[in-house]
A and B are shown apart, each in its own frame.
Chain A
Amino acid sequence: MATEENPYTQHYFVQKGDTLSKIAREFYGDPMLYPKIFEANRDILKDPDRIKPGQKLRIP
């Protein structure tokens, strides 16, 4: 089911070398919270270990 876009949801463009854990540490202070980002982007991510530079991720 597609997530309804919320204009207040933060977004992040994946950079080379990023992982969801690294992004979670940057935005949440805790890398263990990476599943929150994965769940919010299930429409474009199939595997939390596979993200590509340039992907636009929702950061809930």
Chain B
Amino acid sequence: MLKKSLFITAVAMLALAAGCANQKGPATKAVGDAEAALAAFKDDAARLLPGDLSGVETTLTGLKDSLAKGDYKAVLAAAPELSTRIAALRDATAAKKAEWEAATAAAKEKWTGFAADLPKMVDAIQSRVDILGKARRLPRNVSKEAFDNAKAGLDWMKSQWAEANDAFNKGDAIDAASKAQAVKDKGNEVLKLLGLAPSA
């Protein structure tokens, strides 16, 4: 009776081991496939959709842990959903990248205009500020408060314009154009403060 029982237990263990061995290959492949699929667009996802990428990576790490522990069943159970999430992230990243590329192209075009225009705006304001700084009194249409605000505005413009150039030189045309637009807006305010008509 004891021999029979031991025999049954041994057979059961062998069957279980064989089952695990059968699942190890597919589980290993599932994790490998997931890693490869993610690696194909991971850099773009990290830049464009970092939060979504983080969630997928957490799940992948969990699967790798299960694989390392030999829990192939858990790996195979979770792999299809992970595969679906990776595919969705891949599509979302591609859409976001296309959107980003279009925005960058538009920003570069705007930048060309800003690069030609804003240094002239800054020069004109600087010239007037320098001259008014030497005046014994200010013109009737410029109060001392307005002049002080204009000087502060000019300082901000020069600083922001330098930052915009840095951003553009680092390849971030969208940020550069955004900063340049802020310089332009501030410049129009300063022109009004100094009694100069803003450009059309």
Q: Which residues of A contact B (CB under 8 A)?
A: 6-10, 25-30, 32-33, 36, 60
**B134 touching A33, Cβ below 8 Å:** yes
How long is the Cα–Cα vector from A25 to B136 in the complex, in angstroms? 10
**A28 touching B139, Cβ below 8 Å:** yes
**A10 touching B136, Cβ below 8 Å:** no
Kindly list chain A residues whose C-beta atoms are within 8 Å of the C-beta of B125: 8
**A8 touching B199, Cβ below 8 Å:** yes
10 A-B Cβ contacts within 8 A? Answer: A7-B117, A8-B121, A8-B123, A10-B197, A27-B195, A28-B132, A28-B135, A29-B138, A32-B136, A60-B127
Kindly list chain B residues whose C-beta atoms are within 8 Å of the C-beta of A7: 117, 120, 199
For the side of the interface on B, what is the size category? 20 to 34
Are A29 and B124 also in contact (CB < 8 A) when A7-B199, A36-B131 are? no
Kindly list chain A residues whose C-beta atoms are within 8 Å of the C-beta of B134: 30, 33
B142 on the A face (CB < 8 A):
yes
**B120 touching A6, Cβ below 8 Å:** yes
**B135 touching A30, Cβ below 8 Å:** yes
When C-beta atoms are compared, the residue in chain B nearest to A8 turns out to be B124
Are A28 and B124 also in contact (CB < 8 A) when A8-B196, A10-B196 are? no
Interface residues of B in 29-46 (CB under 8 A from A): none
B69 on the A face (CB < 8 A):
no
When C-beta atoms are compared, the residue in chain A nearest to B195 turns out to be A27
**A6 touching B139, Cβ below 8 Å:** no
**B139 touching A8, Cβ below 8 Å:** no
In the complex, the 10 A-B pairs of residues with the closest C-beta atoms, listed nearest first: A8-B124, A30-B135, A29-B139, A60-B127, A29-B138, A29-B137, A6-B120, A30-B136, A29-B135, A28-B135
